Amino acid sequence: MDAGLTGRFRTPWGEGGITVRHGHLVGVELPPAVPGAEAGGPDVDLIDRRALGRWADELEAYFRGERLAWTEADLSLDELDAGTFQRAVYSALLTVSPGMTVSYGTLAEMAGYPRAARAVGNAMAANPVPIVIPCHRVIRSDGNLGDYGTDPTWKERLLEHERRFAGQGRRDG
């Protein structure tokens, strides 16, 4: 499989990494664990170069507070190598407003799988495009933020960032 084209975007906390393939976003990595960006060669598809620039701009706009959400129309879930369940969960999560949170159980219900809260947790852990598919908005039913990749401080940081710009609160308990 084509690995895609990688690049970087700026956040207030350092540079992040993005990967696009066939003109679609397929990976987002938050700082500090970001591999070096690859410039690509002459065979790199022009569509990927344009998509890379577009996604870098959009992620930087997120961190400036100018764009806080994406929809399925913005992102091809089929390009993410996700199964039917994961795509349903990601699709439902894209409807959760910036700054709002939803429990794993509620997200399972929203996706049409009301008894699959633990599986939703696995889907969040496997999310290849954090921020764009906002897994940071999913919390435990007791209100605890829970884990977030290798650096759990990102979840709180992203929610605070969104709340500052969106001025919203919590969706469910």
On whether both 103 and 43 belong to a single domain, the answer is no
Residue 144 sits in a domain of what CATH number? 1.10.10.10
Residue 168 burial class via C-beta count within 10 angstroms: exposed 0-12, middle 13-18, buried 19 and up: middle
pLDDT for residue 169: 45
Residue 9 known to be catalytic: no
Q: Are 51 and 6 in contact (CB under 8 A)?
A: no
Q: Are residues 87 and 56 in the same domain?
A: no
Q: How far apart, in Å, do the first and last CA atoms of the chain sit?
A: 41
Q: Is residue 31 part of a domain?
A: yes
Instruction: Give this prediction's pTM.
Output: 0.77
What's residue 44's pLDDT? 54
pLDDT in tens, the chain (173 residues): 577 888 998 888 788 889 998 888 998 988 864 444 444 444 456 778 888 899 999 999 999 999 999 999 999 888 888 899 999 999 999 999 999 999 999 999 999 999 999 999 999 999 999 999 999 999 999 999 988 888 889 999 999 999 999 865 444 43
Same structural domain for residues 50 and 98? Answer: no
Residues 46 and 89 in one domain: no
User: How far is the C-alpha of 173 from the C-alpha of 168, rounded, in Å?
Assistant: 15
Angstrom distances, CA of residue 164 to CA of 38, 45, 62, 70, 171: 33, 38, 12, 18, 16
**Count: domains in the chain:** 2
Identify whether residues 53 and 106 lie together within a single domain.
no
Q: Does residue 58 lie within any of the structural domains?
A: yes
pLDDT for position 132: 96
> Looking at residue 1, what is its pLDDT?
55
Instruction: For residues 89 and 138, state if they share a domain.
Output: yes
Residues 6+ apart with CB under 8 A from 164: 65
CA distance 154 to 158: 6
| Set 25, 51, 135, 159: catalytic member | 135
Q: Which domain holds residue 92?
A: 82-166
Indicate whether 76 belongs to any domain: no
